């Protein structure tokens, strides 16, 4: 027994020695590569100049306080170069880079934009994926180089490494499908068809909402539909025609996990004619915004590319459409069916899926709601990305929040909550508030709350009004080519108006940001101006003051489209919008 224990001891001892010996060899190889590269940095970039190799960082920001190579470029940016040779060592490279960047920032008081990281390695099998994730998500400028060395470990060439695509996690497209069915038999056929078609079209991850129509008196409902249709086109109601309609009993409402753009083009290539039509459409309308391009491709794949979805009736869907279906039209969700990864994610609740499909994650370019405890960078980065989507058409608030997030992210352990309701049509905002009286539901704003114990911070987005009196004719001439019908068209289905910034300027309104800080029950209010906070005595509600002092102007707006509105049940239908 003693002999066995002793043998085990010797085996472990020599195994440790062998590992240490291999590690020493690897370190020696890396040292030879480092020295060779330091003598010839131009092989990476002719602008790089050596500051030092095995550069010591005096501040205790890292456990290993030596950077393999520290260089600079012609713009006086710091270049951190980390050398790796073995696959085993490469797994540590990303962690080392994070530490060295922070160390350089601390020692030299350098900004993040003045630092570039370079990972140079002879082997990339293990390193490519973590390097790519670092490249895509870290916010640190980083480059990778595949080194070729000779028998003496001198660097003879360096090839730039192209990062691979990495998953951004769950991203449900705002392009939805809405298919209607007259009976349960057709619904079952539609469900089977949805599973087949989504996979044939290249989508493995999708969600199906099986819904039932609201209970209603059919004859009364058809009468109201006739009146609604007549109000929209300015004609007399055709009750006879609508009396023959068969009302759908069920709906399959669906959305899918977004794919890379190149995948969409590959899918469209299965039909060269549709592929060419899509190309021509994007060129003719000069669509270059990536999200807008993706939406065009997704709509063509779902609606134009065969096979078509089986249904009695079909409509396009969107986050705003889903909100209308569930709230104004009162459809009931009978079942939520998920596929593949969305089904495998048992921690993902149905409530979260509904919230994201309704646009609460920013996909609608108007709405965001989220809350969590500030304890990790990943969730905060995702929230920042979602807020940028929600404020896609609001550069002022979007830039303000980018600055505020730098301060908020450092508040470790604080509860964080955010709500954004953006506007892309301020005139529609006035109308919706005036008609519905639901000010809080329609008032554009953002509210960010961070709190812990007796300390709270509220970041608030609102409007400032400079007192300029609006004139309807001048507004129509400047922003709608003097034609009120152009204004009416912008109200249709959600009211997106590309002239919104010009309209705000004409009305004397501008976006404003405030901070309310409460510490130990002591409150202070600040306004954000010239990229700094200035203490103020009160927070102005510019929209409220504008509407109170210009009620006649709002009434004029309402008069323009009065014939396009009518009551249905307890809701009001305004050019395609339920309020």
* Predicted confidence (pLDDT) per residue in 99-137, tens digit: 888 888 888 888 877 899 999 998 888 888 888 878 877
User: Could you tell me which of 171, 318, 316 has the C-alpha nearest to residue 256?
Assistant: 171
Give the residue carrying structure tokens 């009211």: 495
Given a contact cutoff of 8 angstroms between Cβ atoms, the answer to whether 241 and 226 are in contact is yes
Beta strands in 226-320 (DSSP E): 250-256, 313-317
Burial of 167 (C-beta count, 10 Å sphere; 0-12/13-18/19+): exposed
Check residue 19 and give its pLDDT. 41
pTM metric for this prediction: 0.60
Check residue 3 and give its pLDDT. 45
Check residue 48 and give its pLDDT. 94
The CA distances from residue 354 to 12, 254, 262, 323, in Å, are 56, 11, 28, 10
User: How far is the C-alpha of 420 from the C-alpha of 390, rounded, in Å?
Assistant: 7
Given a contact cutoff of 8 angstroms between Cβ atoms, the answer to whether 213 and 232 are in contact is no
User: How far is the C-alpha of 451 from the C-alpha of 207, rounded, in Å?
Assistant: 35
Give the residue carrying structure tokens 């096979």: 307
Element (H, E) at 38: helix 2-39
Secondary-structure percent of the chain, ordered helix, strand, coil, rounded to 5: 45, 25, 30
User: How far is the C-alpha of 253 from the C-alpha of 58, rounded, in Å?
Assistant: 60
Triad 70, 74, 80: Cα angle to 5°: 20
Number of residues written out for the chain: 579
User: How far is the C-alpha of 343 from the C-alpha of 244, rounded, in Å?
Assistant: 41
Burial of 70 (C-beta count, 10 Å sphere; 0-12/13-18/19+): buried
Given a contact cutoff of 8 angstroms between Cβ atoms, the answer to whether 100 and 67 are in contact is yes
- In this prediction, the residues of the chain whose per-residue pLDDT falls under 70 are 1-27, 58-65, 85-93, 139, 165-169, 228, 231-234, 360-366, 376-377, 491-498, 561-579
């Amino acid at each position: 027994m003693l002999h066995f224990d002793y043998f085990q001891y010797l085996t472990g001892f020599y195994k440790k020695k062998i590992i240490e010996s291999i590690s020493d060899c690897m370190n020696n190889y890396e040292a030879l590569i480092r020295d060779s590269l330091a003598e010839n940095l131009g092989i990476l970039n002719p602008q790089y100049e050596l500051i030092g190799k095995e550069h010591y960082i005096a501040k205790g920001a890292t456990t290993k306080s030596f950077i393999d190579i520290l260089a600079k470029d012609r713009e006086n940016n710091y270049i951190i170069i980390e050398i790796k040779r073995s696959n085993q060592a490469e797994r540590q490279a990303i962690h080392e880079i994070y530490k060295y960047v922070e160390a350089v920032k601390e020692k030299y008081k350098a900004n993040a934009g003045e630092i570039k990281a370079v990972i140079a390695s002879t082997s990339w099998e293990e390193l490519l994926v973590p390097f790519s994730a670092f490249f895509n998500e870290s916010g640190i400028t980083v480059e990778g180089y595949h080194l070729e060395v000779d028998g003496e470990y001198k660097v003879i060439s360096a090839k730039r490494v192209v990062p691979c695509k990495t998953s951004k996690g769950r991203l449900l497209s705002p392009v939805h499908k809405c298919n209607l069915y007259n009976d349960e038999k057709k619904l079952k056929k539609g469900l089977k068809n949805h599973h087949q078609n989504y996979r044939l079209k290249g989508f493995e991850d999708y969600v199906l909402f099986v819904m039932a129509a609201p209970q209603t008196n059919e004859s009364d409902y058809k009468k109201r539909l006739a009146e609604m249709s007549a109000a929209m086109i300015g004609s007399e109601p055709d009750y006879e025609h609508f009396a023959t309609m068969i009302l759908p009993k069920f709906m399959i409402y669906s959305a899918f996990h977004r794919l890379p753009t190149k995948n969409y083009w590959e899918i469209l290539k299965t039909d060269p004619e549709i592929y060419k039509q899509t190309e021509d459409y994007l060129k003719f309308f000069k669509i270059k915004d990536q999200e807008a391009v993706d939406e065009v491709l997704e709509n063509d794949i779902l609606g134009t590319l065969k096979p078509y979805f089986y249904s009695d009736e079909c409509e396009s869907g969107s986050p705003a459409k889903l909100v209308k279906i569930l709230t104004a039209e009162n459809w009931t969700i009978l079942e939520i069916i998920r596929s593949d990864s969305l089904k495998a994610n048992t921690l993902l609740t149905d409530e979260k899926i509904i919230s994201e499909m309704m646009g609460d994650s920013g996909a609608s370019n108007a709405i965001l709601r989220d809350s969590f405890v500030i304890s990790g960078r990943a969730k905060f980065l995702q929230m920042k990305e979602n807020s940028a989507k929600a404020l896609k058409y609001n550069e002022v608030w979007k830039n303000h929040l980018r600055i505020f997030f730098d301060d908020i992210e450092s508040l470790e352990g604080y509860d964080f909550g955010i709500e954004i309701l953006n506007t892309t049509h301020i005139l529609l905002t006035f109308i919706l508030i005036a008609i519905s009286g639901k000010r809080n539901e329609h008032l554009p704003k953002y509210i960010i709350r961070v709190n812990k114990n007796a300390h709270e911070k509220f970041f608030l987005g609102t409007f400032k009004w400079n007192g300029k009196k609006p004139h309807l004719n001048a507004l129509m001439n400047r922003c709608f080519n003097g034609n009120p019908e152009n204004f009416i068209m912008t109200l249709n289905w959600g009211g997106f108006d590309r002239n919104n910034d010009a309209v705000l300027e004409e009305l004397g309104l501008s976006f404003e940001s405030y901070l309310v800080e409460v510490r130990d029950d002591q409150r202070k209010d600040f306004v954000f101006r010239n990229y700094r906070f200035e203490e103020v005595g009160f927070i102005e509600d510019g929209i409220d003051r504008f509407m109170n002092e210009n009620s006649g102007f709002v009434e004029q707006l309402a008069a323009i489209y009065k014939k396009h509105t009518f009551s249905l049940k307890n809701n009001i239908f305004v050019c395609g919008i339920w309020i």
